[in-house]
A and B are shown apart, each in its own frame.
Chain A
Amino acid sequence: MERAWLLCTVIVPLHLIALALYGLATALALAPFIGLRPAAPRALAIAFPCAGAAAHVVAVSQLTLFGLGPALSMLALCLVLLQLASERLLRGSAVSFFAGPLATGLVGLAILSGLTPGAETATSRNAWFVMHVVLSVLGVALMALAFIAAALYLLQFRELKARRFGQIFQLFPPLERLDQLNRFALVAGFPALTLGVLLALGYGARFAGEGGGGLQAAKAQIVWGLFTWIVLGWAVWVRVVRHWAGRRAAVASIAGFSAVLLVYVALKLVEPGVGRFL
C-alpha cells in the first residue's frame, strides 16, 4: 500500500518531470543541427539537465533497484550526470547531442517497463547488492559515454578531413579532447564494472543458501555481464597497452558498445520478461 502510494505520488511524477526536462535539453542540443535556431545559451543547456537530474535523483532514491525499469532509470541518471561532468570538461554541449536522446529514451522506457519490482526482497535492500547495481550501471554508463565520445570523434574527424566547416565543426569539441574523453571513460568504466562483477560474485558466495537473501541471477545475466566485462577489458587493453588512439580507438569503442547492445537485445529476445533487467 505504502509502495503504491510512493509510486503514484513520487516516483512516476518525478520521472515524468525528468523526462520532460531531458527532452527539452535534447531539443536544445539538437536544434542547431536541424537549422532551427543558433546554439542555446550555455546556462540553459546546463540548467535543464541539471534540474532533470535533481528530480531524477530523488526518484531513484525511492526505487528498489530490481528489475528492468529501475535499471534503465539508473542508467539514464548515470548517463546524464556523466554528460554534465564531461561537458564541463569539454567546455561544450556536444555530448548531449547523443546523451540527451539516449537518456530521454531510457527514462521513457523505464516508465513504460514499470518502475516497481514485482516483490521487494531482502536482496534489494542489501548494501552489497546496491553497490553491485550502482557500480555495474556506472560501468555501462561510462562505456556508453566512451561510445558517444567515439561517435563525436568520427563525425568531427570526417568534417575536418572533408574540409566542411558547418555546425559539427563549430559545435563539436576538438578531436584530441574527444579522444581523451573516450580514453577516460573506458579506463574509469573498467574498474567500476569489474568491481560490480566482483561484488556480485562475493555477494553470491557470502549469502549462498540464505533463501531470499541470496543472489538469484539468470544465466542470461551472467552471460551478458561477463561479455560486457570482456569487451570493456579489450577496449581498455587496446587503448592502454596497444596505445590505440584517434580514429582506430574510436571505431573499436563503437564496435565494442554495439556488440554489447546487440548481445543484450539477443538475450532479451531469448529470455523475455521484466522481473530482472535481463
Chain B
Amino acid sequence: MTTHAGMGIKVLGVNHRTAPLDVRERFAHGAHEVPAALQRVMAAGASGGVLLSTCNRTEFYLLAEDEPALEAVWALLGERLSSGPRGEGAAREYGYIERDRDAVRHLYRVSSGLDSMILGESQIQGQVREAWEASRAQAGPVLHRLFQTALHVGSRVRTETGLGVGTASAASAGVAVAGKIFGDLAGRTALILGAGDMAELAATCLSDEGVQITLVANRTQERARAIAERLGGRAISLEEAWAHFATTDIALCSTAAPHAVVTWERVGSVIAERRGRPLCVLDLAVPRDVDPAVGQIENVFLYDVDDLQTVAAQATARRRDEIPAAERIVEEETDHFWAWYGGLGVVPAIKEFRSRMDTLRAAELERALKQLDHLSPDDRARVEQFSQALLNKFLHQPTLALKEAAEQGRGYGLLEALRRLFGMEPPA
C-alpha cells in the first residue's frame, strides 16, 4: 500500500471483516441518505465521491487529499456510533483506508465478489452499479471511470472463472436441490410454513426462479399475509396447511416451533394422494420443523439446514479454487486502470500549460517592445530569444515533474494542482 498523502483515489469504510453486524447496521446508509453524506464529504475538499453501502460494507470512494475529506468521513461515520470524538475514534477502530492503486484493486475485488462474505456472490455487482448510479452527480470523471471498469472486472471474473458457479447460501442451496428434482422451477408451486426472515429470504429465492408461492402458513396471520401479498400468494393457518401437501411441489418450512410440526401423522396420508409425484421439503428451521420419518416416504425428498449447508459449502470450496484466476484478472485490470489514471490528461495538459505560458510571454513581450522602440531589429530578436529561453527554463522542471508523476500513477493529483494554480479549465 502506498503511504503518500495528497490528491488521489481513496477508499475508507468498514466491512464484514472489520466490524460486527450490529456496528455495520449503524453505518449503513439508505439510498436517500447518500447525497447528503457525499455533499458533506465534498464540502470538506473531496473532488469526487461514491458511497457503497450494503449489509456487508459501507465504503466511501473518494478522489481527495488525505485531510480533511477523510476526517469528514470518520466524523460522519462516528456520529452513527455516538456523538463527539468518542464516536469518531470508534469508527476509526472498525475502519480501514486503502489508497491509490490499492483502492482501485480493492473496488475490483469487491465487484468481483472476492471480498464478499459469501465468496463469489453476484449480488454485489448490482449493488456496485446502484452505488455508482446514486452517486453520479458527485462521482467525477475519475470515479466514473473507476466504477465503470469495476463492473467490467466483475463481469470478466464471472464469465472467465468459476467464482460465481454453484450455490453458496442455505437458501440458494435449497433452490439448487429443488432444481435437481424438478429441473426448471418455473411454474412449480411452493407452500411456505413460517413467516420469519429466513422463510422470507428462501421464499424470495424460490420466487426469483419462477416458483409460484401459493400459500404462506403461520401462527400469526398478519406476518404471513404480508409475505404472501408481496410474493403473490395467500395466507392460511398452519392447521389448513397439511392438506396442501397433496398438491404443492415444494414445502419450505421455517417456523419458530420448538418441536417438529410436520409429522408423519399429519401429512403421511395426504402425501399418499400424490401418486408418486415428487415432493421437495426444505426444512430451514432449527430445531427442525419436519419429522425425519416424513423423509422416508417414497418420492419425498427432505433436506434440513445441515444438508443445505453441505451443498453451499461444496460450492464455496469449488469457488476457492478459482481465486487465483480471479485475482489475476483483478491485477491485470488494476494495471490497465492505473496506466490510464497515471497518464490521465498529462500530455494535453502540458501542451495547454506551455501554450498558455507562451501566450502570456508573447503578450508581455509585445507590450515591452512597444516601449522599446529605439531597439534595432537584431536587439529585438535577442530580447525575444531571451524571453523564450527564460520560459523554457521555468517550464522545464514542472514538465519533468508532471511526466514523472504520470509514470508513477500520480499524475492526476498534480494536474489538479496545476489547474488550480494556473486557472486552467478541467478537461471536458
Contacts and interface: CB of A to CB of B under 8 A. Distances in A.
Contacts of B303: 163
Nearest to A177: B183
Given A247-B298, A248-B276, A165 B179 contact: no
Interface string B289-311: 00000010011010100010011
A175 B314 CA distance: 21
B35 interface: no
Q: Most chain-A Cβ atoms within 10 A of its Cβ — which of B183, B276, B301?
A: B183
B181 A165 contact: no
Interface in A112-164: 156, 160-161, 163
B79 to A, nearest CB: 47
B174 to A, nearest CB: 12
A249 to B, nearest CB: 9
Contacts, number: 40
Contact of B183 (A161, A173, A248): A173
Contacts of A176: 181-183, 278
A68 to B, nearest CB: 39
B180 interface: yes
A175 B298 contact: no
Given A163-B307, A175-B278, A246 B299 contact: yes
B181 A160 contact: yes
Contacts of A177: 183
A133 to B, nearest CB: 35
B180 A174 contact: yes
A245 interface: yes
Specify the main secondary structure of chain A where it touches its partner.
helix
Interface in B181-218: 181-183
Interface residues of B, number: 18
A247 B311 contact: no
Majority secondary structure of chain B interface residues (helix, strand, loop or mixed): helix
A87 to B, nearest CB: 14
Interface string A168-188: 010001111100000000000
Contacts of A165: 307, 310-311, 314
Contact of A160 (B276, B301, B310): B301
Most buried by B among A175, A176, A245, A247: A176
Contacts of A246: 276-278, 299
Interface in A225-278: 245-248
Contact of B181 (A163, A174, A245, A248): A174
Given A165-B310, A165-B314, A248-B276, A174 B179 contact: yes
Interface in B152-186: 177, 179-183
Contacts of A169: 180
Contacts of A163: 303, 307
A174 B176 CA distance: 10
A177 B278 CA distance: 13
B275 to A, nearest CB: 8
Nearest to A176: B183
Interface string B120-149: 000000000000000000000000000000
Interface string B210-247: 00000000000000000000000000000000000000
Nearest to A243: B275
A158 to B, nearest CB: 11
B181 A175 contact: yes
A61 B182 CA distance: 41
Contact of B299 (A156, A173, A174, A247): A247
Contact of B180 (A175, A245, A247, A248): A175
B180 A161 contact: no
Nearest to B185: A174
A174 B311 contact: no
Nearest to A172: B180
A246 B303 CA distance: 20
Contacts of B277: 245-246
Contacts of B182: 174-176
A162 to B, nearest CB: 10
9 contacts: A160-B177, A160-B180, A160-B301, A174-B179, A175-B183, A176-B181, A245-B276, A246-B278, A246-B299
Interface of B: 177, 179-183, 276-278, 295, 298-299, 301, 303, 307, 310-311, 314
